[in-house]
Amino acid sequence: MSNYYTDVPELKYHLNNPMMERICELKERGYRDKEEFDYAPQDYADAMDSYDKVLEITGEITADVIAANAESVDEEGPHCANGRVEYASGTKQNLDTMVKAGLNGMTMPRRFGGLNFPITPYTMCAEIVAAADAGFGNIWSLQDCIETLYEFGNEDQHSRFIPRICAGETMSMDLTEPDAGSDLQSVMLKATYDEANNCWRLNGVKRFITNGDADLHLVLARSEEGTHDGRGLSMFIYDKRDGGVNVRRIENKLGIHGSPTCELVYKNAKAELCGERKLGLIKYVMALMNGARLGIAAQSVGLSQAAYNEAFAYAKERKQFGKAIIEFPAVYDMLASIKAKLDAGRALLYQTARYVDIYKALDDIARERKLTPEERKEQKMYAKLADSFTPLAKGMNSEYANQNAYDCIQVHGGSGFMMEYACQRIYRDARITSIYEGTTQLQTVAAIRYVTNGAYASTLHDYELIPCSPEMGGLMERVKEMTRKFEACTNAVKAAQNQELQDFVARRLMEMAAVNIMSHLLIQDATRAPELFSKSAHVYVNYAEAEVEKHFNFIRKFQADELADYRK
């Protein structure tokens, strides 16, 4: 690709969504920065133009530098010596280029050196970078940890730390420990207050930490002695300049080789509290992980785009039985399916990002002044939508990235299994997306409450009221019927009043909700831009309908006493 943004017209389409006007108005607070910063936008059109330009620059750097380095970074990987990480040489060049282009701390206010970007265009940049190198995408996009420091840190912490991230320093989020993975309530890394030096000290081990030798770390640690659950945990900021944390080793992994996954040893490391004690997991890490989950959804969409590009290019070139393999129905079925899941997953990703943007911008305004009753209502509505959509966007896109990478190799035949082709790297890199930042099973745990409390059903009913083009009318009727089946399953599971049964079918219910939501989003997209989305809307609704039918049949026929056949 010559430009990873302009070569994918679907991205510009999503940027130009009508909700962006409200997002810009809130984020730019009536465009007040124009008096102070000459690069701040004058109005909505100017703001949109600046996002477009930055995306174009990101797309160009991605093509010229990041994509060009991807294979060598995958082969070389980072090194660890004397407790410190050294990136692969291509990674260093990638980072340096991004920093020089001013693409760090993108969402931070201008007074700290940021670009004051909404989450939506920033997420697009993350998708673009990941399409070329998902491992580098991790290092670069960990900058979004700064959102959590901005949200919950104090003024003094803002002024000391945010400018450093905007200037190109990197971050990590240190949560996982050997005995605390999905269950972060079990975190035991110890935080004790050092009265003599008026600071906190961290002692213990973290493992699987991406970019673990970063300049600034957000660390989840146990500050309340004698506690064993999430209420005894607080969030800390560790600054590498203070020392006390060493990298014991870098993990040897299946994929994302450029991204150093570190085991960290904390020895009396000086740290400062971020926010209030005891709210570390309950409030701050939940917010941190929601942001990171959107990031992994973007990484997954980038990988799906890469899988589509590779599969499509190969299928056009490769000839068997006297014709290009793209002409065989079995092959174009795979290609259409990759594209439909890519378009559906991307629609869900950016719808989620827009919901996040509105509630976060209103949250930020609430720190300056009291919100009006209408604004409070708006904030609550979008916060709930964002919370319910985030596990779907992460869960579904990460599974789609894996399925699409698998099909990409299949389209390549035996060549797909060879290291010379990029599809093997995409396949290896995709595998982690459904594991980190909460496995798909944990996304289901987060999503199931919105199944049972009717939130997804209510959103689906709202979407049914959005007018669609006559061409999409037939699909809309089919999706309405799919929603009836989703509701019938939900009601049957609720009526059984059996928690184990509910947990057992939770993923099926979550997927039913998700494919129905994505079907609606594609119908809306195909109504606005049929030339881009009409095909995918048809292909995806065919697929989604079959998925719903499959789950409907399973849940309808399943008897609770059959659980015994599955239990070990």
Ligand X SMILES: Cc1cc2nc3c(=O)[nH]c(=O)nc-3n(C[C@H](O)[C@H](O)[C@H](O)COP(=O)(O)OP(=O)(O)OC[C@H]3O[C@@H](n4cnc5c(N)ncnc54)[C@H](O)[C@@H]3O)c2cc1C
Contact residues toward ligand X (CB under 6 A) are 172-176, 181-182, 208-210, 253, 261, 432, 435-439, 441-442, 445
Q: Which is nearer to ligand X, 55 or 126 (CB)?
A: 126
State how beta strands 233-239 and 216-222 pair: antiparallel
Smallest gap, in angstroms, from Cβ of residue 261 to ligand X?
Answer: 4
Is residue 389 a contact partner of residue 355, using CB atoms and an 8 Å limit? yes
Question: C-beta of 183: minimal distance to ligand X in Å?
Answer: 6
The structure tokens listed for 539 are 């292909």
Q: Treating both helix axes as pointing N-terminal to C-terminal, what angle do 89-100 and 134-141 enclose, rounded to 10 degrees?
A: 50
Q: Which is nearer to ligand X, 112 or 436 (CB)?
A: 436
Minimum CB separation of residue 374 from ligand X in Å reads 38
- Type of residue at 490: T
Neighbours of 268 (CB within 10 A): 12
Query: Shortest gap between Cβ of 253 and ligand X (angstroms)?
Result: 6
Based on CB atoms, which residue is closest to ligand X, 103 or 218? Answer: 218
CB 354, CB 120: distance < 8 Å: yes
- Comparing every residue's Cβ against ligand X, the nearest one is 181
- In angstroms, the CA 409 to CA 206 distance is 35
Q: Minimum distance from CB of 432 to ligand X (Å)?
A: 5
Instruction: Kindly give, in sequence order, each residue whose CB lies less than 8 Å from that of residue 100, ignoring residues fewer than 6 positions away.
Output: none
Q: Residues 470, 533: contact at Cβ < 8 Å?
A: no
Which one, 259 or 351, has the nearer CB to ligand X?
259
The answer for residues whose C-beta is within 8 angstroms of residue 322's C-beta and 6 or more apart is none
b/e per residue, 227-262, with b = 16+ CB within 10 A?
eeebebbbbbbbbbeeebbbbeebeebebbbbbbbb
- Taking the least distance from each CB to ligand X, the nearer of 251 and 378 is 251
The encoded tokens of residue 480 equal 């309405």
Q: What is the closest distance, in whole angstroms, from the C-beta atom of residue 211 to ligand X in the complex? A: 7
Q: Residue 373, Cβ neighbours under 10 Å: how many?
A: 8
Q: Which helix (H) or strand (E) holds 201?
A: strand 199-210
Helix (H, G, I), strand (E, B) or coil at 249: strand
The answer to whether the CB of 335 falls within 8 A of the CB of 531 is no
Pick 253 or 384: Cβ nearer ligand X: 253
Nearer to ligand X, 261 or 304 (CB): 261
We find the least distance from the C-beta atom of residue 431 to ligand X, in angstroms, to be 9
532 within 8 A of 9, measured Cβ to Cβ: yes
- Minimum Å gap between C-beta 527 and ligand X is 37
* Shortest CB 463 distance to ligand X, Å: 29
If the CB atoms of residues 59 and 438 are measured against ligand X, the closer one turns out to be: 438
Q: Which is nearer to ligand X, 354 or 431 (CB)?
A: 431
CA 240 from centroid of its chain's CA atoms: 26
Residue whose CB is less far from ligand X, 383 or 435: 435
Q: Which residue has the tokens 């209030």?
A: 276
Burial class of residue 115 (count of CB atoms within 10 Å of its CB; 0-12, 13-18, 19+): buried
**Shortest Cβ distance from residue 171 to ligand X (Å)?**
10
Question: Between residues 173 and 358, which has the closer beta carbon with respect to ligand X?
Answer: 173
Nearest 5°: the CA angle 66, 69, 75 is: 135
Query: Which pair of tokens denotes residue 98?
Result: 């991004």
Shortest gap between Cβ of 510 and ligand X (angstroms)?
12
Question: H or E stretch including 331?
Answer: helix 329-366
